Amino acid sequence: MQRFEEIPFPKQLFIDGQFVDSAGGETFPVVYPASGEEICRVPLARDEDVDRAVRAARRVVDDGRWARLNPHDRERLLHRIADLIETHAEALAFLETYDTGKPLRETKMVDIPLTIQCFRYYAGWPSKIKGDTIPVRGQFLTYTLREPVGVVGQIVPWNFPLYMAAIKVAPALATGNAVVLKPAEETPLSALYLARLMAEAGVPEGVFNVVTGDGETTGAALVRHPDVDKIAFTGSTSVGQQIMRQAASHIKRVSLELGGKSPHIVFADADLSAAVKGIVSGIFYNQGEVCLAGSRIFVQKPVYEEVLERLRDAARNMKIGDPFAEETTFGSLISEEHRQRVERYVGVGVEEGAEVVEGGRIPPNCPKGYFYEPTILVGGHNRMTVAQEEIFGPVAFVLPFDTVEDVIGLANDTKYGLAAGLWTKNVSLAHNVARALKAGTVWINAYNLLDAAAPFGGYKMSGFGRELGEEALDLYTECKTVWTSLR
Ligand code: NAD
């Protein structure tokens, strides 16, 4: 067990290769969600600090050294970052659990390995990013170049702090951009650790900067800064809308990964044991604080009762408690405010006619911290608040359905379109439904799978742009066309 005090990470902003306090000296508290206790304080970055970070990034973009770095050297650098994260994996996993309250077994087995995979995957790209020659009319040689966008502001949420940062930082650096990263105010610590590793890896000063603070202060300062060329944002749809509006004034590039209310469908012929496992991980993994959580569960009528019973059993058997205990599978929610939000949604569900058949309480064995039981609601319809609004917590809403056409209609009856899952042994049904679903990712007989090589992103109000995979390179490059006369 690593004690928090023993984890060697800096508690300052990282600007232009230096760890520094905020100009005004202000700080804010960081809380361990499983106890509610303050564990440290970090600087609150205001306009002046954000401006310093952006100017540092601008300098390194404008002098061209970083963008023109030999691609093989860039690859080596990204591999070195991945190596260092690997070396520090244990400490990073502990830090992430202190910051989020999620089980250590998950930060060890999921958050940190995915982060390493992401840096390794993008480490392979710099020598393969290329333009095309275009067969135009007339005597010209016309070709395209892929150039970095420039200074990129990256704003991430608290549910997978380091991994969300890696998804943005790794492709941005692979394509030669300079980054100013703003982690969520609830979970700023692993980004600061990453800054330490970036410095150790030899990332040039100004290429990677971290500013900590809340959205209204630090995030908004980054979004309105005129010298930021692009904002890459992951978070709620409402903040995504604000960012789009603000970015319009300078026509900043924007990419948005937003909320979800993903449908998870079980057809009567499915392997029910596998389906139930998938559904449980789909909604209760990471305490349901997952953008792609399968929170609307549609079960075909002949197997509805059986699936519901099995789900209830599985929810009852989750091990809630101390995130550092080996057996814990379900940790704390991120904050008291968020727990109250989840409770309010369950209350609204009941007012609108749903019934709580499992959970719906603060677990009696967890009097401290922000725990909330895995909760299952039934009864009602897809237009109810709990079926339409993202709860971002451990609340499953289970609904029966009759036909394939019915469930496609229900699944798509949402403003979101991030992900969807379906369980059946019928191959043609599976692929036909996958095509009919309006979602950026569809899992067939699986759920919650991500890979650095597989693009990920949303339809509709879940955002636009695709992160991960080759697609993410488009988010961080401009395409320049060069015409040369051959006459
Ligand atoms: P949030 O939108 O409140 O905050 C996200 C980030 O934006 C934080 O860093 C926050 O400080 C910052 N922020 C808040 N207001 C801002 C403003 N006005 N200007 C600039 N930055 C601002 O979201 P959250 O509560 O931290 O995270 C939960 C949300 O994130 C959920 O809706 C979830 O679905 C979404 N999410 C989406 C994905 C995805 O890939 N699509 C992944 C994870 C989380």
Question: Does residue 116 surpass a pLDDT of 90?
Answer: yes
Q: Residue 211: pLDDT above 80?
A: yes
- What is the C-alpha separation between 391 and 341, in angstroms, rounded? 8
How much is the pLDDT for 153? 98
Neighbours of 67 (CB within 10 A): 17
In the residue annotation, 291 being an active-site residue is answered as yes
CB of 213 closer than 8 Å to CB of 182: yes
Q: What is the mean pLDDT of residues 27-53?
A: 98
Residue 459 CB–ligand 1 contact under 6 Å: no
CA distance 200 to 70: 20
- pLDDT, position 132: 98
| pLDDT average, residue stretch 391-409 | 98
Q: Please report, in angstroms and rounded to a whole number, the separation of the first and last CA atoms in the chain.
A: 72
pLDDT of residue 2: 87
| Segment 244-260 mean pLDDT | 97
234 lines ligand 1 (CB under 6 A): yes
**Over 90: is that where the pLDDT of 424 sits?**
yes
Q: Where are the beta strands (DSSP E) in 151-215?
A: 151-155, 178-182, 208-210
214: Cβ below 6 Å to ligand 1? yes
Distances (CA, A) of 344 to 113, 217, 328, 387, 421: 35, 27, 26, 14, 27
Selecting among 75, 96, 186, 291, the annotated active-site residue is: 291
**Average of per-residue pLDDT across 390-399:** 98
Q: What percent of the chain has pLDDT over 70?
A: 100
Does residue 401 line the site of ligand 1, with CB under 6 A?
no
> Which of the listed residues 47, 102, 155, 181 should we mutate to test ligand 1's pocket, taking the one with most ligand atoms within 8 A of CB?
155
pLDDT in tens, 96-110: 999 999 999 999 999
Q: Quickly name the fold that domain 4-258+462-483 has.
A: Aldehyde Dehydrogenase; Chain A, domain 1 (3.40.605)
User: 270: Cβ–Cβ under 8 A, 6 or more apart, which residues?
Assistant: 303, 423, 424, 425, 445
pLDDT, position 245: 97
Share of the chain above pLDDT 90, in %: 99
pTM equals 0.98
Mean pLDDT of 222-240: 98
d(C-alpha 459, C-alpha 254), whole Å: 15
Domain residue extents for the chain: 4-258+462-483, 263-452
257 in catalytic set: yes
Whether the per-residue pLDDT at 1 is higher than 80: the answer is no
| Ligand 1 atom closest to Cα of residue 390 | 32
Mean pLDDT score, 333-339: 98
User: CA 454 to CA 434: how far, in whole Å?
Assistant: 16
Cβ distance 299 to 307 under 8 Å? yes
* Residue 396: closest CA among 416, 367, 373: 373
Reported as a single tens digit per residue, the pLDDT across 117-156 is: 999 999 999 999 999 999 999 999 999 999 999 999 999 9
Joined tokens for residue 414: 């949402």
Instruction: Name the phi and psi angles at 268, rounded to 5.
Output: -65, -25
Within 8 A by CB and 6+ apart from 456, the residues are 257, 440, 441, 450, 466, 467, 468, 469
Superfamily of domain 263-452: Aldehyde Dehydrogenase; Chain A, domain 2 (3.40.309.10)
77-89 residue pLDDT tens = 999 999 999 999 9
Reply yes or no on whether the pLDDT at 165 is more than 90: yes
- List the residue whose alpha carbon is closest to atom 14 of ligand 1: 215
Q: In this predicted structure, what is the pLDDT of residue 438? A: 98
For the CA of 259, the closest atom of ligand 1 is 34
What tokens appear for 337 in the block? 């405010």
